[in-house]
Amino acid sequence: MTLALVLAPLSARAGMADRVGATFALMSKDFVEAFKPIEGLVVSIEGVEIFLDVSEQTGAQVGQEYTIFRKGETFVHPMTGRSLGRYEQVLGYAQIARLYPNFAAATFIPAEDAPRPRAGDGVRITRARIRVAIAPALDMTTGRPDLRRVPFLIAAALEGSKRFLATDPLSVSDRFASGSIRVEEMLARPERAVWAARSLDVSGWVVPMVLERRGVTYLDVTYISAITGHALFSRRLPLVTTNAAEEQRFPWEPRPED
């Protein structure tokens, strides 16, 4: 009887990671939608604001981050002379702040030593897979759940979408374990998030947090830009029930009691 009483809370704490993983699976489609490949043009730029010809109808969302680029000369195959494409220069980045029926207003972040954008320059969310790093889960509850597997579960869901490429969660967690950076800094100090992302060569951070509000436990996940360190968007859902977590478990995952 005593052994059963000891194991019960341990199993519950271990099973929380499964519930978090199943909950993120439900919100992962929002991340995919936010990073759909989109291409457009610069309409104009006024101070730190840049206006793009993308809209909600073309998939634009507040919080998206676009690369601003200028096409250069064509480059050709040295033997056949066939055109292989055009050189491109990255001018900076645009983070969508407001959407209008036919265009979007964004905050412009210039690239170092790059010329200022002008009307007709290109904008895009790349078709290539987005490289991200997943921070260790920040526990804001009183139950002390074992959340060490959460980054691996989130990485599996993002990789499975074929839209993201997740950096090895073990190498990421090692950086936090060394004390060089804390998860809380990712959310409060943009310059630290940028610094840490640069060393990992990623486009952004996915920061999961488990918290309690009025007796309900939630998963809150924030995407942080590697360019500015600012949160671009976040999603929050109540944790799914234990039974639902069982139904949505990945085939390779152990059961909560394991």
Q: Mind listing the pLDDT tens digit for each residue in 112-143?
A: 999 999 999 999 999 999 999 999 999 999 88
pLDDT at 241 (0 to 100): 85
pLDDT at 254 (0 to 100): 54
Tell me: pLDDT of 29 over 60.
yes
72-91 mean pLDDT: 75
Share of the chain above pLDDT 90, in %: 76
Tell me if domain 11-35+129-247 and domain 38-125 are identical in fold.
Answer: no
15-31 mean pLDDT: 94
Of the candidates 153, 155, 171, which has an alpha carbon nearest to the alpha carbon of residue 163?
Answer: 155
Tell me: pLDDT of 78 over 80.
no
Tell me: pLDDT of 253 over 70.
no
pLDDT at 250 (0 to 100): 53
28-51 mean pLDDT: 95
pLDDT-derived band of residue 5, with 50, 70 and 90 as boundaries? very low
pLDDT at 45 (0 to 100): 95
pTM to 2 decimal places: 0.83
Q: Mind listing the pLDDT tens digit for each residue in 190-231?
A: 999 999 999 899 999 999 999 999 899 999 999 999 999 999
pLDDT-derived band of residue 13, with 50, 70 and 90 as boundaries? low
Tell me: pLDDT of 251 over 60.
no
Fold classified for 11-35+129-247 = Rossmann fold (3.40.50)
pLDDT at 255 (0 to 100): 53
38-125, which class in CATH? mainly beta
Domain boundaries of the chain, sorted by first residue: 11-35+129-247, 38-125
